[in-house]
Every structure is written in structure tokens, then in C-alpha cells.
Chains A and B, each alone.
Chain A
Amino acid sequence: MSVYESIGGAAAVDAAVDIFYRKVLSDDRISHFFDDVDMDGMRAKQKSFLTMAFGGPNEYTGKDMREAHKHMNLTEEHFTAVAEALVGTLNELEVPQEHIDEIVNIAVSVKDDVLNV
């Protein structure tokens, strides 16, 4: 069974997305990136991201990740902030540590693409 399935699939993504988005918007290191975006559209993107990070079915490619974050001049600090929001969300939902480790590994695997390095 994948992590995605063991934590509850699409329902887990639904439970996580608002908590995650709220954490991202509360973090001064990254919140300004979200000032002028359409919140419903961004929430849909966050759901796709969480589905990917949970090891669920997705169509993310490294190229998409690069393209989407290309002109944002992202640094290590920004990536860390998002990773912390992700872990904080999973802790809040009482996801077991072994699953959190696996999810963090998936998220870290796209880091170079996101930072465009």
C-alpha cells in the first residue's frame, strides 16, 4: 500500500489542504508570493501538490515544477518554509512519523526542480 492509500487518499488531501494553505499564508518568508493569486485556483494547485507529496496519482513532472517556479527566484529558505508547513500539517493531522518521513522524502525529491538549480 502506498502512503497515499494508507493515510486515506483523496479524503486526506481534502483534510490537509486548508490547514497547509493557511500555514503557507501565515509564514512571512513565503506569504507574499500568494498576495495576488486566485485563492480557489491556488487551492487546486495545493491539492495537486499534496497528492504528489503523499505519493498519490498525479501528473507532475520535473519540467512542470521548473516551469511553474521559474521566475520566482526561490531560495533554500523558501523551500524550507514550505516543507515546515507540510510537516506541521501532517503533525496536526496526527499522521504517523514513518509516513511523514516518506512524504518529506518525496517533497525533497522535487527540490532542485522547484529551486531551478
Chain B
Amino acid sequence: MVAINFTSEQEANQQVELEQGETVLDGLLRAGHDIPYGCRAGVCQSCIMQCSSKNMPSQAQQGLKPAQKELGYFLACNCLPSEIMDVSTAVSKSEKVSAKILEKTYLNNNVLRLRIDKVFDYKPGQFCTLWKNKTVSRCYSLASIPQKENFLEFHIKKLDKGQFSKWAHNDLQVGDSIGVQGPLGECFYSYTDISKPLFLAGIGTGLSPLYGVLRDALERGHNGNINLVLGAKNADDFYLVDDLLALERRYIQLNVHFVAQTLLKSDDNKHIVEADIYEYIHQVVPDFKNQRVFLCGADSFVKKMKRRCFMAGANMPDISADAFLAFNQ
């Protein structure tokens, strides 16, 4: 007889004894818990749940993305546990906590690097919600890496009417506290990615999650080829250029590409090319078969690239995308 410990938003640690050959879904339903479900065959993923113990049968994760697997997601209808499991209804909502501002640095004319206390653990590339006050909040991706850095890092672009970004740029001071909630999202590097060719592409501050993902991959000993393609309107929209070039020199498997829509005659940046980013990417990576893909930035870019990468051979579970919603205020 196997038992499961079940936690939902309403109740914590309810123990349910499973009968012989009974799935987690069937056991929970029999015990009167309200679990969403559909096909009961591991296809529709309606009954997705999260397991905090490390003893889940692999069958229960069939069809999930590597990132979901790493977060302990599984399908309750396909799960026949052989030992006790701690399970909860996905996705647990996190509490808002307070964190101190440690550093404010300008990375270029309009991108601010904000470093705050590391108030929780996370995977680089996931995102958080930052709160200006009780009503105004925005989501930002994590550019830091927890294994080396004792802070959370965000890249905040100043928008003309940005209620949050203008405040962060102009008013927020080192030593102030800010509300932070998270982390969320599945755009991060997984242990299964280690020797795959990696393709990272981003526009503007789409670099922030990619900077986290890239350094996480390198720290974890990624040995496949890596292409990082960054796009911007003009040469001076890029940031962290020197840091990225230093990484490129240090890691032979890494190639960094800066692609500007328009270069001025006065730009003397020999590492920046002027090109259409879609055409350029097609030249660099004509075939996306087996590539592990990360796409970050404006929604239109991410959507278009996702389709192009898929059509050029990437499989959908290997494409992680983080589309920034256009908040102009």
C-alpha cells in the first residue's frame, strides 16, 4: 500500500492511501479532492500536478517539457507511485516578499541594472513580479545565477510612460525595499540540455533572461555549441557588450552575434553587423534540428522566431520562449 501527501490551496498535507494499481488522480478523486482532469491517458495534461519529493515514476512525466520535469511537474492520471510522494496542485502561488535594493547601475542610456537581495532560490531565466506599490507591478526576468551571485539581477528599460520603469530609474534608491514575487516561468536551462547545440536569441532587454540562461549553461559545463544572437535598432542599444565578448573569448563553444537594424557611419563597432535579424539567423543556423532554443523579447519577435525555428527542424518541447508584453505605461 502506497500513500501520498497532498497539498492544495485549501488544505495542506492530506494523506491519501492508494489502492493497488490506483493512479494518483484516481486516488485523489476517490478521496473527494477536486482535481481537474480530462483524458485520463497522459495526453491532455489537465491533471498536471507538482511533486516536491524526488521519487516520481518516469512514466508520469511522459510528454512534459524538460523544464517542467525539472520543476517536478507530472500527470496525476499517469502516475502509479511505488513509494510515498508529496504532491500539490500546480502551480503554487508564491507570496510577495520584501527585498532590499543593493545596486543600481546604468548598462546603457536606457537600461538599468537592478540588484536586490536574493530572497528566494530560482532558475536563471525565470521571471519575477516587482511591485512599485500596492497597485503597480511589472514582470522582469532574472539575469543573475544563484550558484555564483548572492543577489537577484534585473534589466529594466526606461519607457517614456512606464509607471514602473520611470520610478525604478528616477526614484528608487539603493537601500530602499521593494516587493518581489516569484519566481515563475519555464524558460531556463535543464540538465538534459548539456551537450545539445544551444541557440539563444533576444531583442533589447530580452538579453536579461538569456544572460542568466547562458551563464547557467556555461557554469554547468555545457559542452555543445552555443550561438547567442542579439538584436537591436542601433549600435548603442546593446549593453553588456564587453562582458559578452569576454565570455566569448573564454569559452570556445560560444559565439555571440550583435545584429543592428541600422549602423551609423560613426559606429566603429567591428563586432556589430547590420542585417535583418531573421535573415542573419537563417545564415548562422540554417538547420534547427536537435537545437535547444531560447527566444526572449518582444512578442512579435518571439512568435515569428518560434515558428521559423520549428519549421527549420526544432522540436516544440526544445523551444523555450519568453515573450515580453508591450507595456507602454
Question: B43 contacts A25, CB within 8 Å?
Answer: no
Q: Hey, which chain B residues are within 8 Å of A47, CB to CB?
A: 43-44, 63
The reply to whether B316 and A40 contact each other, CB–CB distance below 8 Å, is yes
Q: Which residues of B lie under 8 Å from residue A13 when comparing CB positions?
A: 43, 63
Q: Which of B44, B62, B316 contacts A39 (CB 8 A)?
A: B316
Chain B 297-316 residues near chain A, CB threshold 8 A = 303, 306-307, 310-311, 315-316
- Nearest to A19 among chain B residues (CB) is B315
Interface of B is mostly: loop
Q: B43 near A10 (CB under 8 angstroms)?
A: yes
- In the complex the two chains form, is B62's CB within 8 Å of A44's CB? no
**Quick one: which of B141-174 are within 8 Å of A by CB?**
none
List of A residues within 8 angstroms of B303 by Cβ: 39
**CB–CB A59/B316 < 8 A:** no
- Say whether A80 faces chain B, with CB atoms less than 8 Å apart: no
Residues in A whose Cβ lies below 8 Å from that of B45: 44
CB–CB B62/A14 < 8 A: yes
B40, closest chain A residue (CB): A57
Residues in chain B near residue A48, CB distance under 8 A: 39, 43-44
Query: Given A10, A26, A43, which contacts B42 in the complex, CB threshold below 8 Å?
Result: A10
Judge if B41 is at the interface, Cβ distance under 8 Å. Answer: yes
**Complex: A47 Cα to B317 Cα, angstroms:** 13
Partner of A25 from the list B44, B63, B78, B307 (CB cut-off 8 Å) is B307
| Interchain CB contact under 8 A, B63 and A14 | yes
The interface size of chain B toward A, counting residues with CB under 8 Å, comes to 18
Q: Is A56 part of the binding interface, using a Cβ–Cβ cutoff of 8 Å?
A: yes
Contact residues of A between 46 and 82, Cβ < 8 Å to B = 47-48, 51, 56-59
Give the size range of A's interface with the partner. Answer: 20 to 34
**Chain B residue at minimum C-beta to C-beta distance from A18:** B315
Contact with A along B105-122 (1 / 0, CB 8 A): 000000000000000000
Instruction: Give CA–CA (A59, B44) in the complex, Å.
Output: 10
Whether the Cβ atoms of B39 and A57 lie closer than 8 Å is yes
Indicate if B36 sits at the interface (CB-CB under 8 A). Answer: no
Q: Is A22 an interface residue (CB 8 A)?
A: yes
Residues of chain B with a CB closer than 8 A to A59's CB: 38-39, 44
Inter-subunit contact A57/B41 (CB<8 Å): yes
Whether B39 contacts A51 by the Cβ 8 Å rule is yes
Contacts of B78 in A (CB 8 A): 10
Minimum distance in angstroms from A47 CB to a CB of chain B: 6
- A51–B41 touching, CB < 8 Å: yes
Q: Find B43's partner among A21, A40, A58 (CB 8 Å cutoff).
A: A58
CB distance from B90 to the nearest CB of A (A): 16
Alpha-carbon gap, A18 to B314, bound state (A) = 9
- Choose among B38, B43, B307, B316 the residue that contacts A56 (Cβ–Cβ < 8 A): B43
Measured in the bound complex, the distance between the Cα atoms of B133 and A91 in whole Å is 58
Q: Which residues of A contact B43 (CB under 8 A)?
A: 10, 13, 47-48, 51, 56-58
Task: Report the minimal beta-carbon distance from B185 to chain A, rounded to whole angstroms.
Answer: 13
Query: What residue in chain B is nearest A51 (Cβ atoms)?
Result: B43
Give which listed residue, A11, A22, A51, A58, contacts B310 with CB less than 8 A: A22
- A59 CA / B77 CA spacing, docked (Å): 15
B42, A18: Cβ atoms under 8 Å?
A: no
Residues of B within 8 A of A (CB): 38-45, 62-63, 78, 303, 306-307, 310-311, 315-316
Pairs A–B under 8 Å by Cβ, sample size 11: A9-B41, A10-B41, A14-B63, A18-B310, A22-B310, A22-B311, A48-B43, A48-B44, A51-B41, A56-B43, A57-B40
